[in-house]
Every structure is written in C-alpha cells, then in structure tokens.
Copies of this chain bind each other. A is one copy, B any other.
C-alpha cells in the first residue's frame, strides 16, 4: 500500500470526505518537520491549487485536529503552528529565527504534588535559545 492509499484509508476510516485540497494538506503536513503555520501551508499549496482559500486550510486543520491527526502548538506567540507528529515529543524554539525543532527524548516528569487537585492529561517541555545556525552568527 503506497502513501496515497494510506492517506485515503486514514480519511475514510475517520469518516472524512476526500477532497484534493484535504489530501494535499495532509500530504504536506506528513512530509514536513517545519511545524508550519496556516499561511505556510497555504503558500506551499497555492501553486497546485491556485484557487484555494485560507478558509479551506483553516477548516481542514480544524477537522484534522478534531480527529486527532494534527496537533496545534502554542509555542510561537505570534501565530499558531501545526504538528502532524503524534508520537510523544517535545520542542525547541529558536529565539532568533523562530524555527521549531523536535526533541524526541522522553522526560520522566512526575506530576507535582501541587497539581494533585488537577486532572493532568499532558505535559510539554519547550526549550528555547539559539539554533545551530543562529548560534554561529
């Protein structure tokens, strides 16, 4: 089964309608590690879909998030970033260029005592500083 068929399967399984735009967005997300913003996605696809609108990008992202295929990141305070990697991982954001990198190591963090009245479902570690490229400058 090739990649396209897998995507089709995934969509069907979730009861989503198959549209070329949606497939293209999913394909783009699956093939990048750039944690793109909605605009990045739009720009990447507008050559293939010159008539595509932002609404489609946002609508599709909303559906994908709802279905659990994509996560929304709140790491960049100027805009939302999207992440199709579902396995547990963390991030590094460069204070200079804004790029986000995956940090795949796991951290053994105990839920602190002060959160015992809370229902903690997840935690995220976000490192910040300079990426290798910006560090050299």
Contact = CB atoms under 8 A, between A and B. Distances in A.
Interface of A: 72-77, 80, 92, 95, 101, 103-105, 107, 109, 111-115, 117-132, 135
Copies per complex of this chain = 2
Main secondary structure of the interface of A (DSSP, over half): mixed
Given A73-B77, A103-B115, A123-B127, 16 more contacts: A74-B74, A74-B75, A74-B76, A77-B80, A92-B115, A92-B118, A103-B114, A109-B125, A117-B135, A120-B127, A120-B128, A122-B127, A123-B125, A123-B126, A123-B128, A124-B126
Contact of A128 (B104, B105, B113, B121): B121
A25 to B, nearest CB: 19
22 contacts: A74-B75, A74-B77, A92-B115, A92-B118, A95-B121, A103-B114, A104-B114, A107-B109, A115-B127, A117-B135, A118-B131, A118-B135, A119-B130, A119-B135, A120-B128, A120-B129, A122-B128, A123-B127, A124-B126, A124-B128, A125-B125, A126-B126
A119 B96 CA distance: 11
